[in-house]
């Protein structure tokens, strides 16, 4: 496996990113959208694992418009109940959540992958995202539909809203096969979201699997997530491995 820090020109500036790929051969490209803590060791570990599984993985810093990675030094100590901590990530998330930002990034990231000798351009590109990255996956698949062949959201946030720009309304623009893994507490807070996702993708005739992980909390796939208020870990290794198997299954269709 080869790992390289790279800089990618976008319409909005220069994005710092990490690029992982097997040491030989050509492989499908994958874009990894992080959670609100951004590009850091745990996200790099996902890139390495993807390379070990035979993919050329690009893990960008989604907050490059504001700061270079890492923007949060210690995710595990972050306190969502602390308004000072929350204030640190709000402008970061706003920078990539702005209208058109993720779509412009998606085009630049796809172009980067397609320019790499290790990427098999005869195959489609995959995209996966965690927490806020889940909705960025949907926006990516809608922005570059002819190149994206699979998209996976794990404990995605803001997938279904009442806004006219809600990600689930992008289904008619998507050609990729989709997977949505929903955390139990997210489902409890918004129980109709899964149904609206199913309805939107079914109406658009886009293959999509939507399932609730009944014992997993929001953030369960990422090892360095902070603990829950009761002191229990958010990361759930068993369900994280199950989610990874779902990811590889959808990427096998690229």
Compute the mean pLDDT over every residue in the chain, rounded to the nearest whole number: 96
For residue 51, what pLDDT is reported? 98
| pLDDT-based confidence at residue 209 (cuts at 50, 70, 90) | very high
* Model confidence at 104: pLDDT above 90: yes
* Residues 184 and 251: beta-carbon distance below 8 Å: no
d(CA 130, CA 222): 8
Provide the percentage of residues in the chain whose pLDDT is more than 70.
100
Q: Which domain holds residue 118?
A: 2-251
| pLDDT-based confidence at residue 152 (cuts at 50, 70, 90) | very high
Q: What are 92's two structure tokens?
A: 């970061």
The string of pLDDT tens digits covering residues 43-66 is: 999 999 999 999 999 999 999 999
Q: Is the pTM of this model over 0.85?
A: yes
Q: How many domains does the chain have?
A: 1
Cβ count within 10 A of residue 127: 31
Cβ density class 3-23: b for 16+ within 10 Å, e for less: eeeeebebebeebbbbbbbbe
For the segment 2-19, the average pLDDT, to the nearest whole number, is 98
Residue with tokens 């809600």: 166
d(CA 161, CA 232): 29
For residue 139, what pLDDT is reported? 98
d(CA 187, CA 171): 20
Cβ count within 10 A of residue 41: 10
Strand runs (DSSP E) across 46-199, as ranges?
Answer: 56-60, 125-130, 148-154, 177-183
| pLDDT-based confidence at residue 86 (cuts at 50, 70, 90) | confident
For residue 72, what pLDDT is reported? 87
* Model confidence at 14: pLDDT above 90: yes
Look up the CATH number of the domain holding residue 192. 3.40.50.1820
For residue 21, what pLDDT is reported? 98
For residue 88, what pLDDT is reported? 86
């Amino acid at each position: 496996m080869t790992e390289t820090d790279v800089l990618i020109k976008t319409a909005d500036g220069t994005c710092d990113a990490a690029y992982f790929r097997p040491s030989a051969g050509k492989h499908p490209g994958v874009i990894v959208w992080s959670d609100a803590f951004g590009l850091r060791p745990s996200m790099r570990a996902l890139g390495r694992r993807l390379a070990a599984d035979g993919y050329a993985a690009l893990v960008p810093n989604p907050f490059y418009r504001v700061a270079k990675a890492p923007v949060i030094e210690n995710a595990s100590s972050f306190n969502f109940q602390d308004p000072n901590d929350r204030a640190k990530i709000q402008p970061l998330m706003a920078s990539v959540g702005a209208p058109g930002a993720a779509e412009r990034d998606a085009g630049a990231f796809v172009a980067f992958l397609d320019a790499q000798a290790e990427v098999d351009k005869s195959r489609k590109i995959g995209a996966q995202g965690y927490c806020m990255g889940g909705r960025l996956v949907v926006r990516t698949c809608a922005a570059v539909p002819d190149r994206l062949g699979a998209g996976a959201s794990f404990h995605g946030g803001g997938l279904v809203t009442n806004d006219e720009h809600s990600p689930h309304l992008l289904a008619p623009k998507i050609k990729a096969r989709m997977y949505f893994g929903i955390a139990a507490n997210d489902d409890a807070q918004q129980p109709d979201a899964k149904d609206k996702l199913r309805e939107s993708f079914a109406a658009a005739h886009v293959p999509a699997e939507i399932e609730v992980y009944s014992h997993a909390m929001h953030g369960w796939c990422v090892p360095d997530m902070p603990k829950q208020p009761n002191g229990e870990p958010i990361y759930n290794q068993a369900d994280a491995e199950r989610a990874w198997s779902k990811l590889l299954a959808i990427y096998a269709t690229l």
